[in-house]
Structure 1
């Protein structure tokens, strides 16, 4: 019998956030059988910004989002701000 994939636990801190005419979806989640919360922000175009590190708590992940928002604003999550084109 095959093992089942672990469930994804979504934090109650996950939400839509709107500022300056920009709306993003803040996703904070973890796997049920592993510690560490992931932080992902998805903009209106579907572009995802994911933090490399996992956070000890969902509150810590939310604080990282808020710190980025305070320092850089919503522009940090727009396509042109987070996509680094590679030279062809």
Structure 2
């Protein structure tokens, strides 16, 4: 729809639904114009604008109804834009990891599970303590099995941990979203019976 000038909207504008599809019938004109513009807009924001102008809004409405009857409402439904398509679970995790990266550094503390895993890791010389403050300097998505992982430095040694094994700072701007990701991932791993130590050595 034209947005750079003041428009007069017809009272005949309406939503039409057929065959589980819906379009907005938009009839409008510039405040100083005599003729009406006809536009159909689908739920994804795609629009079809008639080249011809109409002397009355009633004539424009009749043209829209006739076109929908002749061609079918599906002819005026386009494809969703990439922005409107829901992200897959993997796409969401990648996007979340990228947004965390943009907000680094991030302070975290190790969970009991991470402390235990590090202590029992033969090639990991670092010993973590409860409430030990760690700073995340990198966040990546390592695939479906490992999920989002964070690189932390402890005693000069890098530790890459699954984000599910880290306690987050409630003041972080992405805290709520990250906490939700942690809970959902833990529930999924428990349901699928997957084993994830959550700690990796980086040489």
TM-score relative to the length of structure 2: 0.36
Q: Per the alignment, in what secondary structure is the counterpart of residue 79 of structure 1?
A: coil
Q: Partners in 1 of 2:18 and 2:69 — Cα distance?
A: 11
1:66 aligned partner = 65
Comparing both chains, which one has the higher relative contact order based on Cα–Cα distances under 8 Å and sequence gaps of 6 or more?
A: 1
Return the index of the structure with the highest Cα Rg: 2
Matched, 1:32 2:31: yes
Partner Cα distance (1:33, 1:6) in 2:
10
Structure 1 segments unaligned to the other structure (5+ residues): 81-88
Alignment of structure 1 residues 4-83 onto 2, 5 Å? 7-79=6-78
When the two chains are superposed, the root-mean-square deviation of aligned CA atoms in Å is 1.4
- What is the number of residues matched between the two proteins? 76
The CA deviation string for residues 16-62 of structure 1, in whole angstroms up to 9 with x for no partner, is 11110001111000011111100000001110000011100000000
Detail structure 1 runs of 4+ shifted over 3 Å in the superposition: none
Retained in 2: the 8 A contact 1:6–1:33?
no
Q: Distance in 2 between matches of 1:25 and 1:69?
A: 12
Q: CA deviation at 1:75?
A: 1.2
- 1: CA distance, partners of 2:34 / 2:5: 12
Q: Please report how far the alpha carbon of residue 7 of structure 1 lies from its aligned counterpart in structure 2 after TM superposition.
A: 2.6
Compute the TM-score of the two structures, normalised by the length of structure 1.
0.80
Instruction: Give the conservation status (yes or no) of the 8 Å contact 1:30–1:38.
Output: yes
**How far does residue 76 in structure 1 lie from its aligned partner after superposition?**
1.5
